[in-house]
Amino acid sequence: MTQTNNNMTVNPDLAMERAKCNFNVLEVTHIFDGGERNTLQRKKIEDVALNSGASKDALGEEHMSPKEKYENAVRKSCIYATMMKNELAELSGLESFGVSSPVIRRTADAFFKEVSPFLLHLGMFVPTIMGQCTPEQQSYWLPRALDMQIIGTYAQTELGHGTFIRGLETTATYDPETEEFVLHSPTLSSYKWWAGGLGKTVNYCIVVAQLYTKGECHGTHPFIVQIRDEDTHVPLPGIKVGEIGPKMGFNTADNGFLGFDHYRIPREHMLMKNAQVLKDGTYVKVARHGKLTYGTMVFVRVVLVNEVAFNLAKASTIAVRYSAIRRQSKPKPDEVEPQILDYVTQQHKLFIAIATAHALQLCSTWLWESFSAVLAQMKGGNTDTLPEFHALSSCLKAISTSDSAHLIEQCRHACGGHGYMISSGIPNLYNFVSATRTYEGDYTVLLLQTARFLVKAYEQAEAKKPLTPTVSYLAHAFSGSRATWDNSPDGIIRSFQALAAGKTAVCVTNMRKRMRAGLSQVDAWEMSTIQLVAAAEAHCRAVIADTYRKEIVRLTANSSPNVKVVMDQLTTLYLYYWALERTGDLLMFTSVSQKDLVDLQIAYEELLLKIRPNAVGLVDAFDLRDELLHSTLGSYDGRVYERLMEEALKSPMNKEPVSDAYSKYLRPMMKGKL
């Protein structure tokens, strides 16, 4: 194994697990990383960033006040940003450090148990400059942003609207006299709300506002806006800005609010790649597709699939290692208490988490490559592939974030009481990932975007028109008979396609019926949205399963035999798990019988037993250093109880033998003197 400290004492149960692992762990690490070269580069970056000890805190973050936590997060963000500029960028060979590198992002997690106040700077501010500026604008703003001379965020959401972008109320009205835009917040609900880093950290932001010129509204457009003085950091006149208060997670991200009182910015601060306002106020549309200003959101949706795969890998590493050292109950009176990992129900909770981390990691690489292809086509002026990509990135963002949040919570359940400790690392992971289901497009809202595409594709299939690749299966939706069930991986993928097609067909039929009965198209659509969301989910499962399977076959072509076997077991597990989760749907839309499902359940249980001896090896293959896990339960050496006690003793509550609360309240009450 590739752990840095080779002299550590390892818990004997974990040592035993590692001894019985029958595949080459490093080979699987290479598969997960996308090749040996990537693994080497990642480890180099991790060594430079993490061996210095700069990521460590003197006092545990969880014992700090909110203000101390924030200041500490800023301190470490500055250390990490400086490292990126000076050392890591060169190591990673990136033109623009940090922006497109999951490795740099991943390494940053060692510095923050929650998130960096700079997350939005690199995650959305810089990508918006790259994606929405003209070349001249980019050459001015990008170097300043990459060099951290200015720090920015992305302020789109308002108190009153997040999902419905067209409903945003902030206005940017062009004044040709001064060649300026006047930014204004006309109502309380128009205040910007949520942007990460806005509360105290940033001095610039991208503001999305309704553009008015020559008395006409042209819809939402992005602007770059200075909100604080570059020297004193004091908010500029006309700006009302602050932090929004404690949240379920993201508490080091100083999410903020922002209001404008007739605040003026130069005309050139409108990001003009897709649309322009000329000096005289004439509006010129440049882009061929109306939704290109949503580009940064699409970029982040793609990045998030990778982000949640990484976080799920962390949670499953913690829970599987802990389950290997934890012994509980005595089902066989003459034998020692078993490791909880030996319980089949525990394997059912955990192995799907490992398989899903793999599935999402491989899908994220595939999605990134598809995104690059779409961007390349759009550079040449062709936006034909954008609708399909929007449908694809929307459903993958929705399902990957939702599944990961659910499975991270399942990992917490698998760790019993100790999983509830902040020091286990799992609560912070859950709080972070559960937010990803909402931000950058809520789960339901994004699945309905995919459903919109599915319905259109269904109608095209009905009219025998050509279909785009991810929905080409709809061409077979009109055979009149239910899809034939077979439990091979390809057969299960076809079944999920049949579910998506079947549910879409039901929706289309019901919508038509409802419209004939007098409902409007909008109302008929609304009445079908439960099934439309389910259709988009089934479509997405088919895409994930198909991509995962194909990528594993490709990536293991030259692997050793045991690696091939264990990777095949994981992909099969993923398919069996989801087929068994959707038995009702399968009975409705395929020829599956009760006997087939009983057989599938048995095959699934047998698969769990086959994977069991390799479980610790599989999570070791994620190669997550202890600094990244932040976990008393999941460290490589398995010193779980020792770490739990060490952390408990660090609690400020244990500093005094008797709490002040005793003399103030407990004693008076117990002596009857309160």
Binding interface with ligand MYA (CB under 6 A): 98-99, 105, 119, 122-124, 154, 156-157, 162-166, 196, 291, 294, 297-298, 300, 303, 307, 386-387, 390, 439-441, 445, 449, 452
Question: How many CB atoms are closer than 10 A to CB 168?
Answer: 22
Position of minimal CB gap to ligand FAD: 162
- Asked if residues 651 and 63 have their Cβ atoms less than 8 Å apart, the reply is yes
User: In whole angstroms, how close is the CB of 250 to ligand FAD at the nearest point?
Assistant: 4
Token duo for residue 402:
């939702």
- Choose from ligand MYA, ligand FAD, none: what does 222 bind? Cβ within 5-8 Å by kind: none
Instruction: For residue 195, state whether it binds ligand FAD (rule: CB under 6 A).
Output: yes
What DSSP character marks residue 270? B
128-167 residues in contact with ligand FAD (CB under 6 A) are 153-157, 161-163
Q: Which amino acid appears at position 620 of this protein? A: D
Which token pair is 424? Answer: 């286990």
Shortest Å distance, C-beta 374 to ligand FAD:
22
* 654: DSSP letter: G
The separation between CA 23 and the C-alpha centre of its own chain, rounded to angstroms, equals: 30
CA distances (Å), 244 to each of 195, 252, 254, 307, 662, in order? 10, 12, 8, 25, 35
CA dist., res. 328 & res. 541, Å (int)? 35
Catalytic residue among 17, 27, 388, 440: 440
Residue 155 binding: pick among ligand FAD, ligand MYA, none (C-beta 5-8 Å cut-off by kind): ligand FAD
Q: How far apart are CA 264 and CA 173, in angstroms?
A: 9
- Residue 123, contacted partner among ligand FAD, ligand MYA, none, CB below 5-8 A by kind: ligand MYA
Between 143 and 219, name the residue whose CB sits nearer to ligand FAD.
219
Least distance to ligand FAD, CB of residue 605, Å = 36
Chain centroid offset of residue 381 CA? 30
Cβ atoms of 355 and 573 within 8 Å: the answer is yes
* 225 conformational bin, left if phi > 0, alpha if psi -120 to 50, beta if neither: beta
533 binds ligand FAD, rule: CB under 6 A: no
Nearest residue (CB) to ligand MYA, 72 versus 364:
364
Residue 17 designated active-site: no
- Write out the two tokens for 529: 């949205």
Residue 450 or residue 614: which is nearer to ligand MYA going by CB? 450
For 395, list phi and psi in degrees, rounded to 5.
-70, -35
The piece of 87-95, 223-231, 409-417, 436-444 that touches ligand FAD (CB under 6 A) is 436-444
> Is the CB of 141 or the CB of 257 nearer to ligand FAD?
257
Q: Which residue has the tokens 């009702």?
A: 584
CA–CA gap between residue 137 and residue 68 (Å, rounded): 37
411: contact with ligand FAD by CB under 6 A:
no
Closer residue to ligand MYA, CB minimum distance, 156 or 316: 156
197 vs 634, which CB is nearer to ligand FAD? 197
For the bound state, the minimum distance from the C-beta of residue 428 to ligand FAD, rounded and expressed in Å, comes to 13
Nearer to ligand FAD by Cβ, of 156 and 361: the residue is 156
Binding mask 447-466 for ligand FAD (x = CB under 6 A): -x------------------
Least distance in Å: CB of 439 to ligand MYA? 4
Q: Is residue 478 a contact partner of residue 464, using CB atoms and an 8 Å limit?
A: no
Q: Give whichever of 297 and 500 is closer to ligand FAD, judged by the CB atom.
A: 297
Question: Do residues 310 and 107 make contact, with C-beta atoms less than 8 angstroms apart?
Answer: no
67 binds, among ligand FAD, ligand MYA, none (CB under 5 to 8 A by kind): none
Judged by CB, which is closer to ligand MYA: 452, or 482? 452
- Residues 459, 453 contacting (CB under 8 angstroms): no
Coil/strand/helix, residue 100: coil
Binding-site string for ligand FAD from residue 502 to residue 521, where x marks contact by CB under 6 A and - marks none: --------------------
DSSP 343: S
Residue whose pair of structure tokens reads 């003459």 in the numeric block: 334
Least Å distance, CB 292 to ligand MYA, is 8
Decide if 94 contacts 100 (C-beta within 8 A).
Answer: yes
β-pairing, 239-243 vs 180-184, is unpaired
Q: What is the DSSP letter of 485?
A: P
User: Is there binding between residue 442 and ligand FAD (CB under 6 A)?
Assistant: yes
Q: Give the nearest distance from C-beta 120 to ligand FAD in angstroms.
A: 5
Give the residue with the Cβ less far from ligand MYA, 206 or 320: 206
* Least distance in angstroms from the C-beta of 400 to ligand MYA: 13
Which two structure tokens, joined as six digits, stand for 381? Answer: 């002026």
Cα separations in angstroms, 495 against 275, 454, 604 = 44, 16, 17
Which of ligand MYA, ligand FAD, none sits in contact with 444, Cβ below 5 to 8 A by type?
A: ligand FAD
Closest distance to ligand MYA from the beta carbon of 156 (Å): 5
Could you tell which of ligand FAD, ligand MYA, none binds residue 250, using a CB distance below 5 to 8 A set by kind?
Answer: ligand FAD
Among residue numbers 255 through 284, which ones bind ligand FAD (CB under 6 A)?
255
Q: Which does 99 bind (CB under 5 to 8 A by kind): ligand FAD, ligand MYA, none?
A: ligand MYA
Choose the contact partner of 432 out of ligand MYA, ligand FAD, none; CB within 5 to 8 A by kind: none
End-to-end CA distance of the chain: 61
* Nearest distance in Å: CB 255, ligand MYA: 9
Burial class (CB in 10 A: 0-12, 13-18, 19+), 649: exposed
What does the DSSP assignment read for 318-331?
HHHHHHHH-B---S
Per CB under 6 A, contacts with ligand FAD among 107-126 are 120
Gap between the Cα atoms of 99 and 658, Å rounded: 50
Q: Which does 291 bind (CB under 5 to 8 A by kind): ligand MYA, ligand FAD, none?
A: ligand MYA
Out of 117, 196, 419, 617, which residue is the one contacting ligand FAD (CB under 6 A)?
196
Q: Tell me how far apart the alpha carbons of residues 537 and 242 are, in angstroms, rounded to a whole number.
A: 38
Nearer to ligand MYA, 249 or 416 (CB): 249
Q: Concatenate the DSSP letters of all residues of 139-168 into one string.
A: HHHHHHHHTTSS-EEEE--BSS-SS-GGG-
- Site residues, ligand FAD (CB under 6 A): 120, 153-157, 161-163, 194-196, 250, 255, 435, 438-442, 444-445, 448
Annotated catalytic residues are 440
